[in-house]
Amino acid sequence: MDPRFAELLRPFLKLAGPGEITITPDTDLRRLGVDSMQAIELLFSLEDTFGIALPDEEMNDATFATAGSLWQAVSRQLPDRAAEASA
């Protein structure tokens, strides 16, 4: 995962408790407080930060379930990943 991605997630993890939390691909976003309204805010932040647009089919509970599943959806839209896929 990109370090910018992990830092962008931190403010949305309201139930993470005090101190630093290590964000791993298995980090459960729902358990740590990302509800549907926060998911929309998070989506806008991700799209702005990475200059991408997540396709409609990625807008589901499975995508926003864990940090890893969300990062996979984001990384598939990154320009260098798109170039790899077309090569």
pLDDT at 15: 82
Residue type, 62: A
What tens digit of pLDDT does each residue of 24-60 get?
999 999 999 999 999 999 999 999 999 999 999 999 9
Question: Is pLDDT at 86 greater than 70 in this prediction?
Answer: no
pLDDT at 83: 40
